[in-house]
Amino acid sequence: MSPFPPDRPLGVALVGTGFGQKVHLPGFQNYPHTEVVAVYHRDGEKAAEIAAKHRIPKFCTRLEEIVALPEVDAVSVSTPPFLHFEMAKTVLKAGKHLLLEKPTTLTAEEARALQNLAESQGVVVVMDFEYRFVPEWQHLAHLLQQNYVGQPYLIRVDWLMSSRADTQRPWNWYSQKELGGGALGSLGSHTFDTIAWLFGPVRRLQASLSTAIPQRPDPTSSQLQPVTADDTVLMTLELASGAPCQVAISSVCRNGRGYWVEVYGDRGALVLGSSNQKDYVHGFKLWAAPAGEELRELSTPAQFAFETTYPDGRLAPFIRVVDHWARSIAQGKADSPNLRDGVYSQLLMDIAHRSHETKTWVTVPDRATFLP
């Protein structure tokens, strides 16, 4: 176990410069115990430009070069999901700690292989499941731990967004199932993680995936290309506790109601939600009611509140993820959310695809058995 805070900032390499530049980079720069020391981009000119713009000391066009730098202690990977497995393997084989964006990989077997590799290398891997670090979500988790609702009778999750409702939004990897695109990977990965975190493991599930916009314009040719990834997911889950859970996820709901979680039990109800379509984090509120009473909005206790907020709501919870990662590295192991949580989320996504293809309920392997 190493002391925390460390004697020097953790040297971090940035791999992924889309979401990575928007959230990861400012997150590391605003956290006192990390320093971005290198950036990767396959295009040398772009790599140099990004490094100069953000005053990053080094840049590389090959991942093998960046993990060989002695000043790199850890790597954040925020590339599209079809690149995660090979990139994460390279990072872990080099003995570097890893912060990995969701979805974890393309399959649960790939994710489990990364887990085995991380354990054999003795490195710490944390998933960016940032909703666990949003104050209102933490308040919800606290009340559930206090048995506020009692025995849950029904859990309902609606995540209805308009982010891809525009039919002219360009075709890219997100439009392709084989590359890890779609609402299930983007939003469902978070949903499965928060369900497991708040309510425990899943016993079985039934899923139906659909694509409302079957073609999108290819920006390289102006031709329409087929969309093979889902944009709407409807699921029914039976939790190991016996509680039923209904899930509706969509990225094509104009004027959708946003992200909502409702829990109804024998002792009361809890409702968490945000209708903010422009910021996935800002705007959450929590309502509660003991059995027989009206819902009332709860204020967020100071123990859960952010110390600092930013115009981009994703930044404050991401900084908490970074803090969790840095502290986990210091103690030599990662508590949740870690790679094991990423494996489980990926397993549930795989099973959702299988259920859709077979049009049947599919039993989920016991978590302890799948992840010994």
Give per-10-residue mean pLDDT for the chain (372 aa).
85 96 97 97 95 96 97 98 98 98 98 97 98 98 98 98 96 97 98 98 98 96 95 98 98 96 98 94 96 96 96 97 97 94 98 98 92 77
Per the structure block, which two tokens stand in for 319? 């900084």
Question: Containing H/E element for 226?
Answer: strand 224-226
pLDDT of residue 370: 83
pLDDT of residue 63: 97
Q: Are 232 and 142 in contact (CB under 8 A)?
A: no
The three-class DSSP label of residue 3 is: coil
Per the structure block, which two tokens stand in for 333? 């192991």
pLDDT of residue 367: 87
pLDDT of residue 168: 95
Q: Are 198 and 141 in contact (CB under 8 A)?
A: yes
Angle, alpha carbons 103-104-110 (nearest 5°): 135
Question: Containing H/E element for 29?
Answer: helix 25-30
Q: Are 37 and 71 in contact (CB under 8 A)?
A: yes
Spatial separation of the C-alpha atoms in residues 217 and 222, rounded to whole Å: 6
The distance from CA 257 to its chain's CA centroid, rounded to whole angstroms, is 20
Q: Are 279 and 316 in contact (CB under 8 A)?
A: no
